[in-house]
A = this chain, B = another copy of it.
Amino acid sequence: MPTAVDDLRIDGSRLHRRIEALGLIGAVHGPNGERGCARLALTDADRDARDLVVTWMRDLGLTVEIDRIGNVFATLPGTEPELAPVMTGSHIDTVATGGRFDGNLGVLAGLEVLETLITNGITPRRGVTVAFFTDEEGARFAPDMLGSLVYVGGLALEDALDIRAADDDARLGDELDRIGYSGALPVPAVSFPHSYVELHIEQGPILEDAGIEIGVVEGVQGISWTELTISGRSAHAGTTPMHLRRDPLLVAARIAGFVRDLTGELGGDQVGTVGRLDVHPNLVNVVAATVTMTVDVRNTDESLLQDAERRLAEFVATVADEEQVDVRSRTLARFEPVEFDPAMVDVVELAARRLGHSTRRMPSGAGHDAQMLARVCPSAMIFTPSVDGLSHNIAEYTAPDDVEAGANVLLHVLLERAGLG
């Protein structure tokens, strides 16, 4: 019934209702009516959101499985059980001031695709699995994309379980037990999917600026996260002559300024951000004793990214020496740029065009679980526009039509990969 299948569409209003319902968990409200989410990984809010999505999965009669790092998988069996299933998914954890679409869209669109297949009595040859991965944001437990990284064998389970939370120093393994999501499936997975495709909001302004409906993601920027702990000498702000100061906050400020200047020099895709900075003792009339800060630099070109890292390290050493402070540097996360499978990318582009959508091939500026899955199976991503390019912001928004378009592209990519009996 190829015609029927080609005409198959997801139920946009049903998908919209689930996005709204999930967005109520850990909801945060802005001054102008914005409604975002604060669901840091493995918090009570994350548990409540997981429980809701798992309930929806079970209501569809899907088999739900959980692995030892808390990744959740719901599978619609295929007609040929011996074949590896096709997988889609994303994450449902958010940053402290996150939106309702980041991650959640990919998970709920995958669920909507399965409900569409079930209600239309369509059973593909391969099974179709919808997954949500633990701690994709890395906002509470670094590195980001942690769950999918452990799933593909990029980080040992024991090491992951011992990671401490940035906010309350809680141990990841303890938090996983506490919320009841320490599952039985081994990690890394015993067998990997046939292929993986993830629908996600762009989180940037490119598609909207160009008036494009679907982003065909060819790869992901390389990411480098560094934590710098700068130790100087606490002293009285009024009586300590400037030339005798060893001020870690001044050094942190010089570094933050340098990061911005560096992106200007390197140009192109290079981005750099200082997003976290903690001062101790943090008092108006005391030269600080210590400052801890993070530097996030990203580039689609590995050699340029390494260049940025090297120049940052050189600057840090120079300014630390000038102010006579000590600096300890720690890598919180480091991922090389990723290129998705060309055949998968073609499938995404073709499906989008068949549905009559305008498309653009583009890299992803953000890290995604798909880049971890790309290590073990052919993978690709579908982007939908983000209004004003906003994400990691409670004002994050993607229009219903764009959400529906992205979900329909996902449906047809999954159908093409899973095949029909």
List the interface of chain A (C-beta within 8 A of B): 95-97, 137-139, 142, 144, 166, 202-205, 221, 223, 225, 227, 233-242, 244, 247, 249-250, 252-257, 260, 263-264, 270-289, 294, 296, 298, 332, 364-367, 389-393
Whether the Cβ atoms of B144 and A241 lie closer than 8 Å is no
Whether the Cβ atoms of B204 and A389 lie closer than 8 Å is no
Query: Assuming A95-B286, A252-B253, A278-B282, what are 6 further A-B pairs, CB within 8 angstroms?
Result: A166-B283, A203-B239, A204-B241, A205-B244, A234-B392, A287-B392
* A280 CB contacts on chain B under 8 angstroms: 97
Whether the Cβ atoms of A392 and B296 lie closer than 8 Å is no
Whether the Cβ atoms of B233 and A393 lie closer than 8 Å is yes
- Whole-angstrom distance between the Cβ of A369 and the nearest chain B Cβ: 14
CA distance A111 to B168 in the complex (A): 44
Nearest B residue to A140 by beta-carbon distance?
A: B283
CA distance A392 to B289 in the complex (A): 10
Of B166, B264, B393, which is within 8 A of A234 by CB?
B393
Nearest B residue to A260 by beta-carbon distance?
A: B250
Whether the Cβ atoms of A225 and B296 lie closer than 8 Å is no
Whether the Cβ atoms of A236 and B203 lie closer than 8 Å is yes
CA distance A74 to B204 in the complex (A): 66
Whether the Cβ atoms of A275 and B283 lie closer than 8 Å is yes
Nearest B residue to A139 by beta-carbon distance?
A: B283
Whether the Cβ atoms of B277 and A95 lie closer than 8 Å is no
A-B contact pairs, 27 of them (CB 8 A): A96-B281, A138-B285, A139-B284, A139-B285, A203-B238, A205-B241, A233-B393, A234-B392, A234-B393, A236-B366, A236-B390, A236-B392, A236-B393, A237-B271, A238-B298, A239-B391, A242-B270, A252-B253, A253-B253, A253-B254, A253-B256, A257-B257, A275-B288, A277-B277, A277-B279, A285-B296, A286-B392
Whether the Cβ atoms of B137 and A285 lie closer than 8 Å is yes
Whether the Cβ atoms of A142 and B289 lie closer than 8 Å is no
Residue among A233, A253, A285 with the most chain B CB within 10 A?
Answer: A285
Residue among A142, A389, A393 with the most chain B CB within 10 A?
Answer: A393
Nearest B residue to A255 by beta-carbon distance?
A: B253
CA distance A250 to B366 in the complex (A): 21
CA distance A238 to B222 in the complex (A): 10
* A252 CB contacts on chain B under 8 angstroms: 253, 256
* A393 CB contacts on chain B under 8 angstroms: 233-236, 289
Known contacts A205-B244, A241-B271; is-contact A235 B284 (Cβ 8 Å)? no
Nearest B residue to A270 by beta-carbon distance?
A: B242
CA distance A57 to B195 in the complex (A): 80
Nearest B residue to A256 by beta-carbon distance?
A: B253
Whether the Cβ atoms of A275 and B264 lie closer than 8 Å is no
Whether the Cβ atoms of A263 and B242 lie closer than 8 Å is yes
* A253 CB contacts on chain B under 8 angstroms: 252-257, 274
CA distance A241 to B263 in the complex (A): 10
Whether the Cβ atoms of B282 and A237 lie closer than 8 Å is no
CA distance A277 to B250 in the complex (A): 11
Residue among A240, A256, A332 with the most chain B CB within 10 A?
Answer: A240
* A234 CB contacts on chain B under 8 angstroms: 97, 392-393
CA distance A253 to B277 in the complex (A): 11
Whether the Cβ atoms of B221 and A238 lie closer than 8 Å is yes
Residue among A234, A275, A283 with the most chain B CB within 10 A?
Answer: A283
Of B97, B272, B282, which is within 8 A of A275 by CB?
B282
- Whole-angstrom distance between the Cβ of A318 and the nearest chain B Cβ: 14
CA distance A69 to B380 in the complex (A): 67
CA distance A288 to B244 in the complex (A): 32
* A296 CB contacts on chain B under 8 angstroms: 237-238, 284-285
Whether the Cβ atoms of B283 and A276 lie closer than 8 Å is yes
Nearest B residue to A226 by beta-carbon distance?
A: B284
CA distance A263 to B280 in the complex (A): 23
- Whole-angstrom distance between the Cβ of A322 and the nearest chain B Cβ: 11
Known contacts A202-B239, A249-B256, A390-B235; is-contact A286 B279 (Cβ 8 Å)? no
CA distance A221 to B144 in the complex (A): 49
